[in-house]
Amino acid sequence: MGNLIDAAAAILSNTEKRLETISNNIANTSTPGFKRIISGFATESGENRKIDIKPIQTLRNDSSQGVLKQTGSSLDIAISGIGYFLVRREDQYFLTRAGGFSRGPEGALRTAEGLVLQLAGGADAAVESDAVEILGDGTILDRGTPVGRIGVYAAPSDGVDRGGGLIRIASEPDLADEGAYEVRQAMLESSNVVLSDEMVALMANTRQAEGGAQLVRLYDQLIGQAITTFARAGR
């Protein structure tokens, strides 16, 4: 019977983690540039490979392109193709597909949360006016004068956007191949979460959780029957 309760516990634990991932996707349906999280499970064997097999959750982002929507703002930018913008908060760096920027008091291009956009060379992106033109390769023209090229970076193999459209990184990533993307001005990328798909997954995993709970109830019934049988046999 131990295998039965172990199976039920594994089902409930795995389903709970999937439901957390699905709920996070749903919560970020309207987050610009957010990439849907895909949850999977790998197995890790203990010393006794026949018995001690533990499912380990794996997370990755769905890299498919979100819909690009025109905004009319010259400082909104989107990436068509692969790659991420690099933004900085003090000494912490993040990758993002969310390209909604505005000009700060010192001219730096900042997100609504205050993170500063980075150029391909590593410096902060800054302009003197909102009258800028951004070319397809990321070059910024401020009143017709080039002031730098926006960095578009390859996605890290181990980074996951867990919400908010940001992937935290520990070291500077590699630049993406220039032919693999185009920077689009006055546009923003929508989240690639499809709400109807997430709702279907939510219902399927809810049913799976109910199945795990039924196994637990069955286990309790079997234990109760066994105790009753032993008690009667001892009379």
If DSSP codes are grouped into helix, strand and coil, which group holds residue 231? helix
Which residue is it, tokens 């185009």? 182
Cα 78 from Cα 101, distance rounded (Å): 11
Is the pLDDT at 50 greater than 90, yes or no?
Answer: no
Is the pLDDT at 51 greater than 50, yes or no?
Answer: no
Which of residues 10 and 88 earns the better pLDDT score? Answer: 88
**Tokens read off for 74:** 């010259």
Query: Which backbone phi and psi does 222 adopt, to 5 degrees?
Result: -65, -40
Residue 216: enclosing H or E segment and its boundaries? helix 195-233
| Upper half-sphere CA count for residue 203 (Cβ side, 13 Å) | 5
Query: Which backbone phi and psi does 142 adopt, to 5 degrees?
Result: -105, 110
Is the pLDDT at 162 greater than 80, yes or no?
Answer: no
* Most trustworthy range by pLDDT among 46-50, 91-95, 161-165, 218-222: 91-95
Is the pLDDT at 85 greater than 80, yes or no?
Answer: yes
What pTM did the predictor assign?
0.77
Q: What is the pLDDT at residue 202?
A: 85
Taking residue 72's Cβ as centre, other Cβ atoms within 10 Å add up to: 7
Q: What is the pLDDT at residue 146?
A: 96
Cα 118 from Cα 109, distance rounded (Å): 9
If DSSP codes are grouped into helix, strand and coil, which group holds residue 55? strand
Instruction: Give the relative orientation of helices 195-233 and 2-27 as an angle to the nearest 10 degrees.
Output: 160
